[in-house]
Amino acid sequence: MAVAARNKKSARRRQLEAAINYPIDWLEERSGLVGGIKYFIFRKVPGDTNWFHTLGSATLTAFLVQALTGAILAMYYKPDPQSAYQSIQHITNDITLGWLVRGMHKWGASVFIILMFFHMARVFLFGAYKYPRELNWIIGVMLLAIGMLEGFTGYLLPWDQTAYWATVVGINLNGTAPFLGPFLADFLRGGAEIGGETISRFYAMHMLLIPGLIFALIGLHLYLVIRLGVTSPPWSSAAAGSEAAGEEPRTNGRSGLTQPAARSGWRRNGGEG
Amino acid sequence: MASTDDWRRQFTKYKEDVKERGKPFYPYAMFHDTVMSLVVVSVIIGVTCVWYFTSGEDPSSCGSGHSCLLGPRYSDPADPATTNFVPRPDWYFYFLFYLLRIFKWPDSVILGTVGIPTIALIIAFMLPFFDRRMERRLTRRPVAVIGAILVVLSMGVLTYKGATAHEALASEVVGAVPTWAQREGFAGNAEAIAGAKIFASSGCTACHTYLGTGSSNQGAPDLSAEGSKGRDKQFFTSYIRDPSKFGNNVMPKFGFSDQQLGQLAAFLLASKGPK
Ligand code: HEM
């Protein structure tokens, strides 16, 4: 009796598992995505990665906050000189939680920039820009520059005095560049004066062009991070790149940190690096 | 200096190390990443709350009724005509903003606006190619450490200076007009005095200095003795009407009326330097 019940249950369980696995296998067979995600999640990282290594994903989180809050703001913001300011007031004062969305976008921008600098500092201090990660450093510098451009184009949009005059000066500064300067300034302004054309231009760049570029570059950046693996800390005994020839890897007090994997069962991906 | 083969050997060793002694991304690193991301989102929300709940719907309520710890929700609507407003970029451009004060118009401003940022960017791009040593331990990378300290210090100082730079407010500057008129000897010239008031209240002193008032910014020159350079009224009127026609792409086009332009020109013409 009892045995029969158990068998029945496990048969049901088998059915359930099959039902869950079917779509997963279906997806895997047609895309290989499941294996990719599994690889991403269970790939090995150096045993002594630590809190410093979280700065990159923290930057990513800050960027995703910007993307999400930005998309919501775009539903209410009106990019023309007659209504931009009112739409910002409306978002901040009237719309339910509008203040939160706008505030998170406004302050998240600064957090994003600060985190990029912190992440860059960690990469620099860890010497993580060295072979074979030079390209990823270069992509990172591009992200930094483009991230600041994103801040510059967003600053105009509230169309208040702060926004307007900062942009007047900013565009005119571009104008001082040799040869290209005046063209660049004219292009940014969209005419002789800062006005409706300028807002549309800044809006398009701020909403489409620059975020698209940032997304693409972050994609490349993360692809390289996964392909090459993250650098272990320079104090790590493993592959820290000590130049003195033949120097034995130091096994210091941190070796405990190096091997927490040994006490866990997470070895699914043992075959891959 | 390591050879390419050294690098390859070292990277192979790294991969072996990770394979043998590494730990899986999930749950270890992922746990840290998640905690950090939650901290980031909480900080953003926290700052937003402080900003919102210490400010009011009206920007002028800052200081009266609202403490505006993190500034107003927005400033007054953009108004291209009254520039009684000190232009200031967002904080992460302060270093650039201050750098520009160090360079004076017109020959060297390009150094500040384009030269230094471009050089800094190129150095940043090229860093992996300058530093080709394998060594990663900080105690054995003195140049990198000193370089990092210098960069952080100079960025910090420039940002701080940019943030605290005293910008004279229009109302204070207007108070100085009688002194100017007396020292420059145009007290009897009503048109020049009217021009001086426009000059003082329109934000010109955000970039130009005049008898020690204002702050030199973006490389704009001192104007205390502008009238002794042999230029005529016609020149000043058309220059201020559209500075870009004279190759000045930094100074904004203010949109003054013809009468205001005439008064400003009279003021500049009468500014022959302190007596
Ligand atoms: C949108 C901005 C950025 C995002 C979302 C981002 C994200 C990440 C993530 C998630 C990692 C994995 C390891 C870690 O978190 O430390 C990483 C590694 C790396 N990042 Fe970034 N990053 C950004 C900007 C930058 C900048 C500005 C630089 C430097 C100029 C840079 C250079 C690097 C390098 C060289 C690595 C490899 C580090 C290693 O192997 O240890 N990244 N990035």
> Tokens for A25?
């296998």
Continuous segment of H or E residues that includes residue B157? helix B142-164
Chain B residues within an 8 Å CB radius of A152? 89-90, 93
Residues 4-33 of A with CB under 8 A from B: none
Mean local confidence (pLDDT), B128-149: 93
Inter-chain residue contact B18 with A44, CB threshold 8 Å: yes
Q: H helices of A50-179, where?
A: 55-76, 84-93, 98-125, 134-155, 161-175
A136 CA: nearest ligand 1 atom: 35
User: Residue of the nearest CA to atom 11 in ligand 1?
Assistant: A56
Task: Give the integer Cα–Cα distance in Å for A89 and A112.
Answer: 24
pLDDT at residue number A262: 37
Question: Which has the minimum average pLDDT: A45-54, A124-133, B90-99?
Answer: B90-99
Contact list, B73 vs chain A (CB under 8 Å): 89, 92-93, 99
The predicted pLDDT at position A249 comes to: 45
Degrees, nearest 5: CA angle B199-B203-B209: 70
ipTM of predicted assembly, 2 dp:
0.84
The distance of A130 to chain B (nearest Cα, Å) reads 6
| Mean per-residue pLDDT over chain B, rounded | 87
> Which is the closest atom of ligand 1 to the Cα of A122?
16
- Tell me which H or E stretch contains B171: helix B170-174
A254: confidence class by pLDDT, cuts 50, 70, 90: very low
CA distance A182 to chain B (A): 7
pTM of the predicted model, to two decimals? Answer: 0.82
pLDDT score of A33: 95
Instruction: Tell whether ligand 1 has an atom less than 6 A from the beta carbon of residue A59.
Output: yes
Structure tokens at B85: 């407003």
Q: Which of A41-45, B37-41, B133-137, B158-162 is predicted most confidently?
A: B37-41
Residue B263: which pLDDT band, with cuts at 50, 70 and 90? very high
Site to substitute for ligand 1 among A55, A114, A119, most atoms within 8 A of C-beta: A119
Res. A260 pLDDT band, cuts 50 70 90: very low
CB neighbours of A145 closer than 8 A, spacing ≥ 6? B121
Q: State mean pLDDT over B230-237.
A: 91
A227 min Cα distance to partner chain B (Å) = 11
Q: Is the CB of residue A56 below 6 angstroms from any atom belonging to ligand 1?
A: yes
Nearest to A45 by CA among A265, A251, A264, A225: A225
**pLDDT score, position A263:** 35
Report the C-alpha gap between B106 and B216 in whole angstroms: 12
- CB contact burial B192-227 (16+ within 10 A = b; e otherwise): bbbbbbbbbbbbbbbbbbbbebbbbbbbbeebbebb
CB contacts of B253 in chain A (<8 Å) are: 192-193
Instruction: Say whether residue B90 is in contact with chain A using an 8 A CB cutoff.
Output: yes
Q: Predicted confidence band at B107 (pLDDT cuts at 50, 70, 90)? A: low
Segment B3-11 mean pLDDT: 90
Q: Do A193 and B27 touch (CB under 8 A)?
A: no
Contact B113, B100 (CB under 8 A): yes
The CA-atom distances, in angstroms, between A44 and each of A55, B30, B93 are 19, 12, 39
pLDDT, average across residues B4-30: 90
Q: What's the full length of chain B, in residues?
A: 275
pLDDT (0 to 100) of residue B1? 65
- Given an 8 Å threshold on Cβ–Cβ distance, is A46 in contact with B22? yes
Check A103 against B48: CB less than 8 A apart.
yes
pLDDT tens, residue by residue, A199-246: 999 999 999 999 999 999 999 999 999 999 999 898 876 554 444 334
- Which atom of ligand 1 is closest in space to residue B124's alpha carbon? 30
Residue A136 in contact with ligand 1 by CB distance below 6 A: yes
**Does residue A195 carry a pLDDT above 50?**
yes
Per-residue pLDDT at A270 = 36
Phi–psi pair at B77, nearest 5 degrees: -60, 150
Whether residue A137 contacts residue A119, with contact meaning beta carbons closer than 8 Å, is answered with no
Asked if A91 has any chain B CB less than 8 Å from its own CB, the reply is: no
Mutate to test the interface with B, among A139, A172, A267 (most CBs of B within 10 A): A172
Q: Is the per-residue pLDDT at B255 higher than 50?
A: yes
